[in-house]
Amino acid sequence: MSNEVTCTQSKFGKADLYTMKNANGMEVQIMNYGGIIKSIKVPDQNGKFDDVVLGYDVFEDYLSDKSFFGALVGRYANRIAKGQFEIEGTTYQLAQNSGTNNLHGGENGFHKQFWTVEKTSAEDGFVYLFLKYKSADMEEGFPGNLEVQVNYILTPDNELAIYFRATTDKATHCNLTSHSYFNLAGAGNGNVLGHILKINAHAYTPVDENLIPRGIESVKNTPFDFSKLALIGSRIDKENEQLKITKGYDHNYVLDNPGDMETGLTADAIIAKVIDPESGRTMEVKSTEPGVQLYTANFLDIEKGKDGKRYGKHGGFCLETQHFPDSPNQPDFPTTLLMPDELYETITSYKFGVR
């Protein structure tokens, strides 16, 4: 194994592809198109490397993708009811691209944009890729010119950190996330129902028939309780009103103890842990966000993913760190309103290991 730490550039269709490698051999590939994480290759308990995120081998498949594989999502991750919100007496109408809701910023949100690469470097065991994007006033219906910076940092400890920063010149709503689908057995290697999951949350936001939160409720004595390690698939088929609505998990969790930007992502900021018993791979998630969306790919049906493998129902899971869905219309939720004199700043990391 080479102990060289590198960040190299190549072409991938119309996109530039950046390959980040640390001294342990962990490799992360990221496109300037959509800021998409194309691959993450990490070892299992026997030292065998596999790609653990879902995606495609052909660039054009990302252009037509509807699943948000690996993408940076904005201006607003998750759903906004009726695609509407009001700021200072003005109502803004967004695209209704998911039923009556706005989902993940609209049809041509951040996931469909080419980002500018501001910097790449590899030094002191770390690998850096800095991206930026300017979202113009009223792009996809959102007010304000929003200047966004996203920094990907690969550490010597097999941790991929994603730092988000944004400023605006007009009051707007901002809620950014990364939307990778993980399968710790390897992309396309079966479903994730046998993965073991823990989420450090004792409450979640149940949804109505339009998938919009209807408040905050305890997870106690429900299939949504992952406050202790449990199989993802152990209760997914349970007769439950919420699981019937979403055909699996597609819910936001109210995190018990997320980190904060002042202290950074300390050990106390772990918000979730996932284990694949077969490969022995583990993933720990840390974040400064107040919520995380657990999504179990309930409608996934991709005939040809990487290496020609099929991605079926529950073929991956997402842990999308975020503010809560529909926060612009729910004053009891943590606010997503960003003012011109404020800085939007958040960080999430995914650390890979073995049991």
CA distance linking residue 193 with residue 216, whole number of Å: 26
Q: Which DSSP state fits 106?
A: -
CA distance linking residue 59 with residue 122, whole number of Å: 26
Tokens coding 136 = 């113009």
Question: pTM of this prediction?
Answer: 0.97
Torsion region of 312: left, alpha or beta (phi above 0 gives left; psi -120 to 50 gives alpha): beta
Contacts of 239 (CB under 8 A, 6+ apart): none
Confidence at 267, pLDDT banded by 50, 70, 90 = confident
Tell whether the model's pLDDT for residue 1 goes beyond 70.
no
| CB contact at 8 A, 347 and 164 | yes
Per-residue pLDDT tens digits for 44-63: 999 999 999 999 999 999 99
CA distance linking residue 140 with residue 65, whole number of Å: 19
Tell whether the model's pLDDT for residue 85 goes beyond 90.
yes
Tally of helices (H runs) and strands (E runs) in the chain? 2, 27
What is the mean pLDDT of the segment spanning 7-22?
A: 98
Contacts of 355 (CB under 8 A, 6+ apart): 45, 275, 280, 282
CA atoms within 13 A on the CB side of 129: 26
Confidence at 167, pLDDT banded by 50, 70, 90 = very high
What is the mean pLDDT of the segment spanning 218-222?
A: 97
CA distance linking residue 129 with residue 208, whole number of Å: 39
What is the mean pLDDT of the segment spanning 87-109?
A: 97
CA distance linking residue 283 with residue 178, whole number of Å: 15
| CB contact at 8 A, 135 and 112 | no
For residue 118, what pLDDT is reported? 97
Per-residue b or e along 329-349, where b marks 16 or more CB atoms closer than 10 Å to that residue's CB: bbeebeebebeeeeebebbbb
Tell whether the model's pLDDT for residue 2 goes beyond 70.
no
Confidence at 133, pLDDT banded by 50, 70, 90 = very high
Confidence at 130, pLDDT banded by 50, 70, 90 = very high
Three-point CA angle 11, 12, 16, nearest 5°: 55
CA atoms within 13 A on the CB side of 332: 6
What is the mean pLDDT of the segment spanning 304-314?
A: 98
Please give the span between the terminal C-alpha atoms of the chain, in angstroms, as a whole number. 21
Confidence at 142, pLDDT banded by 50, 70, 90 = very high
| Closest by Cα among 253, 244, 246 to 293 | 253
| CB contact at 8 A, 34 and 72 | yes
Which residues are known catalytic residues?
Answer: 179, 320
Domain residue spans of the chain: 6-188+290-354
3-state SS assignment for residue 307: helix
For residue 282, what pLDDT is reported? 98
> What average pLDDT does the chain have?
97
For residue 269, what pLDDT is reported? 86
CATH code given to domain 6-188+290-354 = 2.70.98.10
CA distance linking residue 302 with residue 261, whole number of Å: 38
Burial grade of 266 (CB within 10 A; 0-12, 13-18, 19 or more): exposed
| Closest by Cα among 100, 101, 99, 83 to 91 | 83
What is the mean pLDDT of the segment spanning 169-185?
A: 98
What is the mean pLDDT of the segment spanning 73-81?
A: 98
